[in-house]
Amino acid sequence: MYTTTSSGVGGSGALWLHLILLTLSPVLITVIHALLARINSRLRPENSNQLVCLQAVFVTLFPMMLLLLFFGSLALDNGLLLSTVLYSVVVYLALGYTYFHLFNMSETARRIRLLYEIESGFFTVAETPAAGASPVQISLATRLERLEGLGQIERGTGGESYYVKGRTILLGARIVRLWGLLLGIDILTRR
Amino acid sequence: MAYVALLLGLFTFVLALLLHILFWQFLRPARDLLLLFFLFAIAPVVTVIVQLYLSISYTDSLACTDIVAVMLCYCALSAAYIMTYPALSARCPSLRIVLLIEKGGEDGLSFSLLESGFDTADLVTDRLNELLSSGLVSGSRNAGYRVTWRGKMLLKPFMLFRRFLGLAPGAG
């Protein structure tokens, strides 16, 4: 426990700093993300926005770990260094994952998009808008393009069929589906 | 950082997940996200009771920084899960697309076959109905829709966030 083991140079003050720094890590991720997103906008072709977000989470991990180790080592006995690193990595990655999902919501969430469209005054629920493509086709095309950009699917030589290329999102989809079944929700059917 | 902070944080998170599975097996309410928040809010109460028991039973009680570390770990894991849950409850189209393409096997899956797996309700009207029922949008198809002040409160931070990142509104 801290009361008995925080006998390092900085004591509990450094521990508080350690925890505050960890709590504020999403702020640092946001700043790094803003920087990387601006660099990405000048690249041709641009990387996927979601990929840039993930890069921001992992680029921030290194300076964060150095700072956290510094404060951790000030406060704790050497025997607790491994548990400090483990704790910091778990909490940082959980916060980073939360940040990625928050960004993903702003990027892909249909509810946020609908709110934006209604607020901007160009929302239509028509089955077939004037442009010719239905909302389903537009929505699917956007998602297919995004998945291609992330390297998770690819088109065949004829360009008509899609194939699974990467395994990351497929693995995630399988886990989400299994977890959903445990909760009584099947993402592939309407029940 | 003692292992106890990580272990108690994980214990509380697993406890919340178990409560979540139990409730969803027997009762999945229409406003499921609200109940999810509630379940994840009450789970730490059990941990606090365990901590109190430990502090009474053993002289070596948890320090204030320990308790904060446990709660930080729990909140970080819970936030990660709660942010993932909408992808499940709203049957995330991107995940369904990947699973459907995988089902296509060596022949792959054409756009038209993929399209047959989705309808407007999937991608637009269900989400619109959710916005209407949660009071984020008001109006009707004939009278037109309006974003309520609650909807604006939700939308504005997202728009500011995107602007800070130097990005246009997301494509949905």
| Same domain as A142, residue A98 | no
Is residue A167 domain-shared with residue A146, that is, in the same domain? yes
User: How close does chain B come to A106, measured CA to CA in Å?
Assistant: 6
Nearest to A115 among B5, B141, B151 (CB): B151
Q: Is residue A77 part of a domain?
A: yes
Residue A35 in any domain: the answer is: yes
Position A53 pLDDT exceeds 90: yes
Q: Do B2 and A80 touch (CB under 8 A)?
A: yes
Q: Indicate whether A117 and A54 sit together in one domain.
A: no
Distance of CA A150 to the CA centre of its chain: 13
Contact A136 B119 (CB under 8 A): yes
Q: How many domains does chain A have?
A: 2
DSSP string, B103-144: HHGGG-EEHHHHHTT--HIIIIIHHHHHHHHTTSEEEETTTE
The CA-CA-CA angle for residues A14, A18, A24, to 5°, reads: 140
Asked if pLDDT for residue B97 goes beyond 60, the answer is yes
Binding-face residues of A in 60-119 toward B, CB within 8 A: 72, 76, 80, 83-84, 86-88, 90-91, 94-95, 97-98, 101-103, 105-116, 118-119
Residues A6-29 have pLDDT tens digits of: 445 456 777 888 899 999 999 999
Residues in chain A with CB shorter than 8 Å from the CB of B131 are 111, 114-115
Query: From A104, which residue of chain B is nearest by alpha-carbon distance?
Result: B170
> Rounded distance, CA A92 to CA A22, Å?
7
**Tokens 């997301």 found at:** B170
Same domain? A96 vs A48: yes
The model's pLDDT over A134-144, given as tens digits with 9 standing for 90+, comes to: 778 888 888 89
**Shortest distance, CA B41 to any CA of chain A (angstroms):** 17
Same domain? A61 vs A99: yes
DSSP for residue B81? H
Task: Name the domain boundary from A108, A128, A154.
Answer: A108
Do A99 and A162 share a domain, yes or no? Answer: no
Among A73, A108, A143, the domain-final residue is: A108
Looking at the structure, tell me whether residues A101 and A49 fall in a common domain: yes
Q: Say if residue A26 is in the same domain as residue A85.
A: yes
- B114 Cβ neighbours under 8 A, 6+ residues apart: A140, A144, A162, B97, B100, B101
- Residue contact A187–B95, C-beta within 8 A: yes
Q: pLDDT tens, B127-136?
A: 888 888 888 9
CB contact under 8 A, A173 and B96: yes
Tell which A residues from 117 to 136 touch B, by Cβ distance under 8 Å. Answer: 118-119, 123, 125, 127, 134-136
Question: Domain of A57?
Answer: 11-108
Residues 6+ apart with CB under 8 A from B97: A140, A143, A144, A147, A153, B114
What is the Cα–Cα distance from A74 to B143, expressed in whole angstroms?
A: 64
More confident residue, A78 or B126: B126
Closest among A24, A92, A29 to A57, alpha carbons compared: A29
Q: Chain B partners of A165 at a C-beta cutoff of 8 Å?
A: none
Could you tell me if A91 and A60 lie in one domain? yes
Q: A127 lies in a domain?
A: yes
Subunit contact A185:B89, Cβ cutoff 8 A? yes
Do the beta carbons of residue A82 and residue B141 sit within 8 Å? no
Q: Which of the four pLDDT bands, split at 50, 70 and 90, describes residue A191?
A: low
Q: Are A35 and A120 members of one domain?
A: no
Q: Is residue A81 part of a domain?
A: yes
Report how many Cβ contacts below 8 Å link chain A to chain B: 267
- The pTM of the whole model exceeds 0.90: no
Domain spans, chain B: 2-89, 93-165
Last residue of a domain, one of A89, A108, A127: A108
For residues A91 and A127, membership in a common domain is answered with no
Return the residue matching tokens 């998009």: A113
- Judge: A106–B118 Cβ closer than 8 Å, yes or no: no
Question: Given a cut of 50, is residue B47 above it in pLDDT?
Answer: yes
- Provide ipTM, 2 decimals: 0.85
Contact list in B for residue A68 (CB cut-off 8 A) is: none
The verdict on A27 and A95 lying in the same domain is yes
The closest alpha carbon to B89, from B134, B47, B149, B54, belongs to B134
Contact A106/B162, CB-based, under 8 Å?
Answer: yes
